[in-house]
Amino acid sequence: MLDKELRSMIGQVKDGRMDRRAFVKRLAAVGLTAPLANQLLALGGVAMAQSPAVYKPTKRGGGGPLKVLWWQGPTLLNPHFATGTKDQDGSRLFYEPLASWDADGNLNPILAAEIPSLANGGLAADAKSVVWKIKPGVKWHDGKPLTADDFVFTWQYASDPATAAVTISTYGEITVEKVSDLSIRILFKTPTPFWANAFVGAYGCVLPKHLFADYKGSKSREAPNNLAPVGTGPYKFVEFKPGDVVRGELNPDYHMPNRPHFDTIEMKGGGDAVSAARAVIQTGEFDFAWNMQVEDDVLLRLEKGGKGKTVYATGGDIEFIAINFTDPNVEIDGERSSMKTKHPIFSDPNVRKALALLVDRDSVKKAIYGRAGRTTANYLNGPEKFVSKNTSWEFNVEKASKMLDDAGWKVGADGIREKDGKKFKLLYQTSTNGPRQKTQAIVKQACQKAGIDVELKSVVASVFFSSDVANPDTYPKFYADIEEFQIPMTQPDPALHMRRYISANVATKENKWQGQNFPRYVNKEYDDAIAAAETETDPVKRAALYIKCNDLLWQDTVFIPVMHRLLVDACSNTLRPALSGWANRTDNLQDWYREA
């Protein structure tokens, strides 16, 4: 039904009987909006809205210096080697992709002349190829023209395993061919509904062929331009000191009119988030500080009468408690949490549901995340068209206690529940991090009231998130009953985010715990839904499939979502940054300006 209605609405937009804004609003009402709603229109044959960026400056330059503070400074400036967003952010001052994601999850053309759509012939009807037209007249910082060859080369460079580029998954599965000097065709092996991945956003930066051609493959690390980028971006490279500072100056030949606004840019690294917030909000030494992972109380205090404020961007980052479906305490063939075991307590779905009732998300939001979080029942929280409206959550100790009673877990003499002589004891692990450990404390308190004994454990982040096969404390090994951390959603599409939990991805000793399905969740229905979604070209059906996957995770209580986290930055009162929860902070840097 929804399907039919949507089709007629797309038709109306096409004919101009309904405007785009109304369409997006209608979709929001049924729980389907933002980035993919626009991709949906694109597939429906309507050109994507060119995001109406409000950009006021009327001439290039004249904005003075822009000073930004990244408390983890970039350590390298080749976007294809970026180990974290800090490196992508630094590289992005100089390199550019074909398009970036704006705040609503729309594609914003950067090096592309236009966004591909069915109407302009860019998208193939079978979703197996896409043609991008490149903006004419774009020049590299050294004066050479940008052509299709650069894109083909970037694909060859990144997809070569010997290069060891982190972008290999984006470029490994596709073929890029030159159509003309100013257009390329990307070919997919299978129908790919989410076509805007290669050459888009953080992983999409194109490299100059004339400077990197000799450094493809195993020689990649010797390229002198790894440290001295030559791109097409709004700023030209001046200086780079790893971990300390990146400096750039206005590119007088930049391909967008009146941009950039600032004459120079300085990205300073180091220090910690609180003092970064101080430098922006209190003393005004800097204009912008990235990633304020600071308690909201502290930020509110700093903001009183300050020179700056905090700014928020909504993406899909989810902080959650994951439940172990296998037994972490039994060792089989040298492997704990083995697939050959079942968790002694959590194999009963009602017990998992009861545990979810014990997570007081409101208190967590109030006490810890404040403005930087939203409570949610969903694992998948965006873009909005993928967000399920079928789920709900509550905090109810009595109800949980009753469910546990019914499941046969009776309160023993010491106040702790037991069943068949086994105590209800849980080991709850997370990475060492203030907010996470406070959340642990809040959950533990509620569990104690319900007669569950919780032992808390925190592991240093560098160990917890490492892939060290020899270390028992990593999150993929999951040698605990429940664990908490955050998985960021790096693009406005759920494909990668949801694919993790198919049964083929279970983390085991056999795959050196590199499987991404760390809760060791196995559900045939889920696997089928993901497989279907990955080849489904009808955007509505596809969205429905991902919503179904989310609902399965919720029904089976694989995750207890704690907080849908927003991106928080500090920003001077006069700076107007262009931020998006679906992109890195510097992805729309060309649109930043200062209000006079």
Partner 1 sequence: MSQYVLRRLLIAVPSLLAISLVLFVVLALAPGDPFSELATNPNVPPEVQAALRAKFGLDDPIYLRYLHWLNAMLHGDWGFSFVSRMNVDTLILQRLPATLYVIGSAQILALLIAIPVGVYAATRPYSLFDQIANTLAFVGFSLPTFFTGILFILIFSVTLDWLPFVYTTDIKATGIRWVLEMIRQAIMPVAVLGLFQAASMTRFVRSAMLDVIRLDYVTTARAKGLGQTTVIIKHVMRNAMIPVVTLIALQMPAVFGGAIVTEQIFRIPGIGSLLISSILSNDTPVVMAVTFVFACLVVLFNLIADVLYGWLDPRISLR
Contact between 88 and 77 under an 8 Å Cβ cutoff? The reply is: no
AA letter at 248:
G
Rule CB under 8 A: say whether 430 interacts with partner 1.
Answer: no
| 64, 136, 145, 161: residue in contact with partner 1 (rule CB under 8 A) | 161
Bridge partners of 70, per DSSP, are 269
Residue with the two structure tokens 């930043």: 592
Q: Least distance in Å: CB of 160 to partner 1?
A: 11
Contact between 344 and 422 under an 8 Å Cβ cutoff? The reply is: yes
Name which of 179 and 460 has its Cβ closer to partner 1.
460
Contacts 24+ apart (CB under 8 A), 303-308: 306/281, 306/282, 307/280, 307/281, 307/282, 307/283, 307/572, 307/573, 308/280, 308/281, 308/282, 308/284, 308/570, 308/571, 308/572, 308/573
| 153, 171, 286, 554: residue in contact with partner 1 (rule CB under 8 A) | 286
- Which segment (125-133, 449-457, 482-490, 553-561) binds partner 1 by CB under 8 A? 482-490
Name which of 25 and 221 has its Cβ closer to partner 1.
221
Name which of 218 and 535 has its Cβ closer to partner 1.
218
Spatial separation of the C-alpha atoms in residues 469 and 574, rounded to whole Å: 49
Site for partner 1 in 354-383 (CB under 8 A): none
Rule CB under 8 A: say whether 285 interacts with partner 1.
Answer: yes
Contact between 339 and 520 under an 8 Å Cβ cutoff? The reply is: yes
Q: Least distance in Å: CB of 194 to partner 1?
A: 12
CB neighbour list of residue 312: distance below 8 Å, 6 or more residues apart = 371, 372, 566, 567, 568
Name which of 396 and 458 has its Cβ closer to partner 1.
458
Spatial separation of the C-alpha atoms in residues 216 and 161, rounded to whole Å: 10
Q: Least distance in Å: CB of 283 to partner 1?
A: 5
- Give the 3-state secondary structure of 541-576: HHHHHHHHHHHHHHHCCCEEEEEEEEEEEEEECCEE
Backbone torsions φ then ψ of 585, nearest 5 degrees: -60, -40
Rule CB under 8 A: say whether 271 interacts with partner 1.
Answer: yes
| 462, 535, 573, 574: residue in contact with partner 1 (rule CB under 8 A) | 462
| 91, 159, 170, 337: residue in contact with partner 1 (rule CB under 8 A) | 170
Site for partner 1 in 506-535 (CB under 8 A): 511-512, 514, 516
Spatial separation of the C-alpha atoms in residues 389 and 514, rounded to whole Å: 32
Q: Least distance in Å: CB of 46 to partner 1?
A: 29
Site for partner 1 in 212-251 (CB under 8 A): 218, 221, 226-227, 239, 241-245, 247
Rule CB under 8 A: say whether 69 interacts with partner 1.
Answer: yes
| 463, 531, 532, 566: residue in contact with partner 1 (rule CB under 8 A) | 463
Bridge partners of 310, per DSSP, are 570
- Give the 3-state secondary structure of 19-80: CHHHHHHHHHHCCCCHHHHHHHHHHCCCCCCCCCCCCCCCCCCCCCEEEEEECCCCCCCCHH
| 84, 121, 136, 408: residue in contact with partner 1 (rule CB under 8 A) | 84
Q: Least distance in Å: CB of 475 to partner 1?
A: 8
Spatial separation of the C-alpha atoms in residues 338 and 331, rounded to whole Å: 7
Q: Least distance in Å: CB of 84 to partner 1?
A: 5
Rule CB under 8 A: say whether 160 interacts with partner 1.
Answer: no
- Which segment (124-132, 274-282, 309-317, 364-372) binds partner 1 by CB under 8 A? 274-282
AA letter at 466:
S
Contact between 455 and 425 under an 8 Å Cβ cutoff? The reply is: yes
Spatial separation of the C-alpha atoms in residues 453 and 417, rounded to whole Å: 8
Site for partner 1 in 25-64 (CB under 8 A): none
| 45, 270, 344, 412: residue in contact with partner 1 (rule CB under 8 A) | 270
Q: How far is CA 487 from the centre of its chain?
A: 8
Spatial separation of the C-alpha atoms in residues 512 and 509, rounded to whole Å: 5
Q: How many residues bind partner 1 (CB under 8 A)?
A: 66
- Which segment (92-100, 278-286, 360-368, 382-390) binds partner 1 by CB under 8 A? 278-286
- Which segment (338-346, 406-414, 484-492, 553-561) binds partner 1 by CB under 8 A? 484-492
Name which of 87 and 384 has its Cβ closer to partner 1.
87
Burial 104-134 (b: 16+ CB within 10 A, else e): bbbbbbbbbeebbbbebebbbeebbbbbbbb
| 183, 275, 293, 338: residue in contact with partner 1 (rule CB under 8 A) | 275
Q: Least distance in Å: CB of 528 to partner 1?
A: 20
Q: How far is CA 516 from CA 75, 170, 434, 481, in A?
A: 27, 17, 25, 17
* Cis before 383 (ω within 30): yes
Rule CB under 8 A: say whether 88 interacts with partner 1.
Answer: no
Q: Which residues bind partner 1 (CB under 8 A)?
A: 65, 69, 72, 75-76, 78, 81, 83-84, 161, 164-166, 168-170, 203, 218, 221, 226-227, 239, 241-245, 247, 264, 266, 268-272, 275, 278-279, 282-283, 285-286, 460, 462-463, 465-468, 471, 473, 475-476, 485, 487-488, 490-491, 496-497, 499-500, 511-512, 514, 516
